[in-house]
Amino acid sequence: MSWNKVVTALKGLVAETGENIADKQALRIMDQELREATNDIAKAKQELTKIMAKRTGVERSISDLQSKITSHEDMAGQALDKGDEQLAADICERIASFESDLETEQSMLQSFSNSESSLKSNLKKAEARLKSLKQQQDILKATEAVQNAQGVVANRFSGSSSKMNSAMGSLERIKARQQERQDRFAAAEALAEEENGDDLDRRMKAAGIGEHTSKKEDILARIKAKK
């Protein structure tokens, strides 16, 4: 392998390592952001409960003022029935104060109700979005884990494949060496037979020369001739 290829391979490895670090860092950042979003939603819920409590208090105050106005109107009527217009006028002045307070409380109630409704709607959207993001994060983490496992398996298979190729090469070399030795043994044995004359006997036998048939075969041939 040339030096340029080595440098290119190292650059690729550094880039891949950098991407892996960036991906892992991105997952950590996402974890932190989702935790912060969860905390923000929890705080928003606390503020919502405060607004709802204030709205309930204002409703109670409005109910109390309406009750007071009703009762004082009744008392002003009684004063008029008794011919005491001054007393009735003073009672009406108090009623006017109650009504002014009532308008203020009703305006506050409207403001709290609007804020409560808006905050509930926004919280619902935020919780749905957060749930979706957490689900996607779970998918990302699962995919990351599976791909990491696949990478480990691929690396191990690559290493084992290389080892198996090396083993196959060794096996072929051993078989070739054993076959060569076997051929040498066969050649030596043939040479020894030739030197001892065994080879000549073997060739004569193969040609059917110098062989004597058995008596059994002679008898069988005689019987066949009589047929």
pLDDT in tens, 170-217: 778 878 788 888 877 777 776 666 665 566 666 666 666 655 555 666
Which residue range is the domain that position 34 belongs to? 3-211
Q: What pLDDT is recorded for position 92?
A: 94
Task: Please report, rounded to a whole number, the percentage of residues in the chain having pLDDT higher than 90.
Answer: 39
Residue 144 lies in a domain: yes
Give mean pLDDT, residues 87-94. Answer: 94
Q: What pLDDT is recorded for position 17?
A: 52
pLDDT of residue 66 exceeding 60, the answer is yes
Residue 221 lies in a domain: no
CA angle (75 as vertex; 69, 81 as ends), nearest 5: 140
Place of tokens 């950042």: 29
Residue 224 lies in a domain: no
* Chain mean pLDDT for the chain: 79
Residue 124 lies in a domain: yes
Q: Model confidence at 224, in pLDDT bands (50, 70, 90)?
A: low
DSSP conformational letter for 82: T
- For the chain, the domain total comes to 1
CA distance 52 to 71: 29
With 0-12 / 13-18 / 19 or more C-beta atoms within 10 angstroms meaning exposed / middle / buried, residue 105 is: buried
Q: Is the pTM of this model over 0.75?
A: no
- Please answer whether residues 82 and 97 qualify as being in contact, where contact means their C-beta atoms are separated by less than 8 angstroms: no
Q: What pLDDT is recorded for position 23?
A: 63
- Convert the pLDDT of each residue in 17-51 to its tens digit: 555 556 668 878 888 888 998 999 999 999 999 99
Q: What pLDDT is recorded for position 11?
A: 47
Residue 158 lies in a domain: yes
Q: What pLDDT is recorded for position 148?
A: 78
Which residue has better confidence, 27 or 7? Answer: 27
